[in-house]
Amino acid sequence: MTRYHFTGIKGSGMSSLAQILFDAGEQVQGSDVDTYYFTEQPLRDRGIEILTFDENNITEGLTVIAGNAFPDEHPELVRARDLGVEVIRYHKFLGDYINHYTSIAITGAHGKTSTTGLMSHVVGGYMPTSFLIGDGTGSGKADASYFVMEACEYRRHFLAYHPDYAVMTNIDFDHPDYFTDIEDVYNAFQELAHQVNKAIIACGDDEQLQKIQANVPVIYYGFGQENDFAARNIVKTTEGTEFDVYVRNEFYSKFFIPLFGDHTVLNSLAVISLCHYEGVPANLIQERLLTYGGVKRRFTETKIGNAVLVDDYAHHPTEIAATLQSARQKYPEREVVAIFQPHTFSRTKAFLQNFADSLSPADSVYLCDIFGSAREKQGELSIEDLANLIEGCEVLKLEAIDHLKKHDNAVFLFMGAGDVHKYQDAFEAILK
């Protein structure tokens, strides 16, 4: 039995991987900052020891898995090298680990987490499946045949993987602190395409993905009727979305998902396409779609009195637009209030007008101060630069959270990748 130590165990991918190894019977511990993050709860539920960062955590006999956010100069990693303890970066370890399974890597600028959660739920109803989701959820099964994983394009980390299948949801410009432009992003995905062993499942409605070249079949899904898997006869209600799936213009089956927004239809199509390719029966796919409970921080609802509070990770203009569309479909009669916290100064600067355009359709918009990151503490602009582009927008301070009470019978969308949850927590405390 290997003894693993995770340096940065509260990271979303790191937490998930630690859970998988623990479930598989390995000895697992880890370290991180003392601040509470929701990603640590599944670790504590399993009894996995979480230590405070300290070089003395590293002892002989450990195998250290290092989070990608931490440099080689981190005291724990320096100590490991001094002791001759093996240090493996997260993405490198995962790239080797998945080779024991039929691996399904899900990537894209948007929709990775939701699609990974949905895929693992549906495939898991067909065969034993281990999975790693980017919301800090992981599960390892001793008899697993499939391994479903979220594969992040940031710093090209997903090039450590050689999966059997790759699901590509879209290619969009993001992470402007690393990628130079959309072409740079495309090149990363194109390189991954050449590492896939069996097939690529790609959204054919995405202009960039239409150009992908590979040595394996590329199966396209989408709304466009030229796709291999196409959604037709879409019916949207306050209960969810119904649609027919045609496979190369032949009717395949009708599906209903208790989900909202066009992006959820596309995510479901990705899952249906892969399952069809793997021979999963249509009735089983439908059964599993109906029982899907979602992933953390993706349109996660809390109802207090007549208010609906939604926690959502949306931190890119495309994602904000999708979240607003979901809210309009599910709650067509309610006021939609957007509370948004930009994540990183570089992303805010790169998409300043795009953020304004995606937020403006909300009935009311509140902005929280820009959330920096470990790699980016400050920048050249402030939240007022964005606020000035949105008519009627207010900058919301935590101590003034009660201003939201003036919106009666509303849907409050708390969106962002930072600590926007502080604002939601404070508002919930007032409402209760």
Whether the predicted pLDDT of 336 surpasses 90? yes
pLDDT at site 311: 93
Whether the predicted pLDDT of 236 surpasses 60? yes
pLDDT at site 154: 82
* Contact residues for 157 (Cβ-Cβ < 8 A; gap 6+): 68, 90, 91, 151
Task: State pLDDT tens for residues 206-228.
Answer: 999 999 999 999 999 999 999 99
Token pair for 221: 């899904």
pLDDT at site 51: 98
pLDDT at site 38: 85
Q: How far apart are CA 358 and CA 317, in angstroms?
A: 6
* Contact residues for 281 (Cβ-Cβ < 8 A; gap 6+): none
Give the confidence band of 81 by pLDDT, cuts at 50, 70, 90.
Answer: very high
Domain at 101-290, CATH class: alpha beta
Task: State pLDDT tens for residues 29-73.
Answer: 999 999 988 899 999 999 999 999 999 999 999 999 999 889 999
Task: State pLDDT tens for residues 240-284.
Answer: 999 999 999 999 999 999 998 999 999 999 999 999 999 999 999
Whether the predicted pLDDT of 377 surpasses 70? no
For 369, phi and psi rounded to 5 degrees?
Answer: -55, 145
Task: State pLDDT tens for residues 138-177.
Answer: 999 989 999 999 998 888 889 999 999 999 999 988 888 8
318 or 53, which is more confident: 53
313 or 98, which is more confident: 98
Residues of the chain with CATH 3.40.50.720: 3-88
Whether the predicted pLDDT of 374 surpasses 60? no
Task: State pLDDT tens for residues 100-125.
Answer: 999 999 999 888 989 999 999 999 99
3-88 homologous superfamily: NAD(P)-binding Rossmann-like Domain (3.40.50.720)
Residues of the chain with CATH 3.90.190.20: 300-431
Share of the chain above pLDDT 70, in %: 97
pLDDT at site 198: 98
Domain at 300-431, CATH class: alpha beta
**DSSP state, 325?**
H
Are the C-beta atoms of residues 324 and 336 closer than 8 Å to each other? yes
**pTM reported for the whole predicted model:** 0.83
Whether the predicted pLDDT of 427 surpasses 90? yes
Residues of the chain with CATH 3.40.1190.10: 101-290
